Amino acid sequence: MSILDAIVRDKRDEVARRKTATPRSSLERACAPLAPPRDFAGALRPLPGDVALIAEVKKASPSRGTLAPAGPWDPIALARIYADNGAAAISVLTDEKYFQGRLEQLTDIRGAVRVPLLRKDFTIDEYQLWESRAAGADAVLLIVSILEPARLAELLAAAKGLGLAALVECHTATEVDQALAVGSRIIGINNRDLTTFETRISTTIELLPLIPLGPIVVSESGFFTAADVHQVAAAGAHAILVGEGLVRAKDIPAKIRELTLQQ
C-alpha cells in the first residue's frame, strides 16, 4: 500500500468520526451567516510578467518529516508574514495524522489575514466542503487521482454551490483530461508524484501544453529558487504553490520576493 492509499483510507475513517462529532446540520447553520468567500481565482491571475504565489502553511509531510524550524510552531504568524509580503493566497494544510495540521488553524488564520485561503487536505466527501466553508476557506483542493470521475464532478459542483473555488490537482495527462472534462477552472499540476513523492518541475512543463486557454494553471511543489519559477512561468503557469521552500527559508520575505520574480 502506498502512502497515498494509506492517507485516503485513514481520511475515510476520520471523516466518519467528524460526521458523528459534528453533524452536517450544525455546519450548515454555521455557514449561513458568513460573508461570501474571497475571490481565490481572481487572486491567481497575475499582471503580465508576474507569477502569483500561493504560500503554504505546512508544518510537516510524510516524505520530509517536520519542516518547521525548531521552536514553537506559530501558523498564524507565518500566515501574516506571507500576506504582508505579497502572497496572493495562502494554503493551509489541515490533515492531522500525516501533515500535523488542524482545521482550527484555518479558522485562526482566517481571522488574521485578508487574502484568500485554500484548505489543503484530501477531500473525498461533501461533508468536508461544509467543514471548509464553516472554517473560513475560500477554496478547496480536489485531487484527481483519489476521486472517480463522477465523484470529482459531484464535489466540484458542490463546492461551486457553496461559493468555494476548487483547485483541481493533476499529475498525469490522463488526469488533466479528466479535470478539463468536468469543467475545472483552476488546474493544479503537482510536480510531486503522490505515490513515490518524487518531485520534478518538468512535470508542469510537460503537461501545460495540454491545457487550453481559459483555466488558471497552478504549478505545485518543488520551488526553491527563482530559476525554478522561471521554468514554469515561461511555459505558461499563472501561479505557483510553495510550502517547504518558504517554511524552511531563513528570510521568508526575501524568499517571497525571489519566488514571485520581484528581484
By annotation, the residues acting in catalysis are 56, 58, 120, 169, 190, 220-221
Q: Which residues of 86-101 are buried (b: 16+ CB within 10 A; e: fewer)?
A: bbbbbbbbbbeebbbb
- CA 12 to chain CA centroid, Å, is 19
Distance (Å, whole) CA 56 – CA 53: 9
CA 1 from chain centre, in angstroms, equals 24
- Using left for φ > 0, alpha for ψ between -120 and 50, and beta otherwise, residue 214 falls in left
Q: Which residues touch 33 (CB under 8 Å, ≥6 apart)?
A: none
Q: What is the rounded CA–CA span in Å between residue 154 and residue 127?
A: 12
- Exposed/middle/buried for 251, CB within 10 Å: 0-12, 13-18, 19+? exposed
Query: How large is the C-alpha radius of gyration of the chain?
Result: 17
DSSP state of 192: B
> Is residue 57 packed enough to be buried (19+ CB in 10 Å), middle (13-18) or exposed (0-12)?
buried
Residues 6+ apart with CB under 8 A from 35: none
Beta bridge partner(s), residue 118? 91, 139
